[in-house]
Amino acid sequence: MNAFLQTWEAASRPSTAPLVIAAGEVAVFSKPRHADVPAMVRQLRQELRASGRELVLDDNTARAAGEAGGRDDWAQSQPALAIALGGDGTLLHAARQLRTQGTPLLGVNLGTLGFLTELAPEEMAAGLAQVLQGEAREDRRSVLAAAVRGATVKRLEALNDFVISKGPLARVIDFELMIEGENVAHYRADGLIVATPTGSTAYSLSAGGPLVQPELAAWAITPICPHALNNRPLLVRDTARIEIHMLAVGEQTYLTMDGQPGCPLAAGDRIIFQKSPHDVRLVRRPGYSYYDLLRRKLKWG
Burial 195-207 (b: 16+ CB within 10 A, else e): bbbbbbbbbbbeb
**Same domain as 55, residue 23:** yes
What pLDDT does residue 18 have? 81
Cα dihedral 166, 170, 176, 179 in deg (nearest 10)? 50
80 and 36 share a domain? yes
- In terms of domains, do 151 and 253 share one? yes
Number of domains composing the chain: 2
Q: Is residue 175 located within the same domain as residue 123? A: no
Q: Residue 221 is inside which H or E element, if any?
A: strand 218-224
- For 257-297, what is each residue's pLDDT tens digit? 999 988 999 999 999 999 999 999 999 998 899 999 999 99
- 4: CB partners within 8 A, 6+ apart: none
Asked if residue 9 belongs to a domain, the reply is no
Q: In this structure, is residue 3 part of a structural domain? A: no
pTM of the model: 0.90
Range of the domain at 193: 143-278
Question: For residue 11, is pLDDT > 50?
Answer: no
In a domain, 2, yes or no: no
What CATH number has the domain bearing residue 114? 3.40.50.10330
Which residues are catalytically annotated? 88
Between 213 and 69, the more confident residue is 213
Rounded CA separation 238/216 (Å):
9
**Euclidean distance between CA atoms 138 and 140, whole angstroms:** 6
Q: How far apart are CA 12 and CA 8, in angstroms?
A: 6
Q: Is residue 94 assigned to a domain?
A: yes
Let me know whether 132 and 180 are in one domain: no
Domain shared by 267 and 293, yes or no? no
Q: Measured between alpha carbons, how far is 98 from 279 in angstroms, rounded to an integer?
A: 11
State mean pLDDT over 225-229: 88
Mean of the per-residue pLDDT values of the chain: 91
Q: What is the pLDDT of residue 12?
A: 45
Q: Which residue has the higher pLDDT, 15 or 245?
A: 245
pLDDT band (50, 70, 90) for residue 229? confident
Are residues 292 and 202 part of one domain?
Answer: no
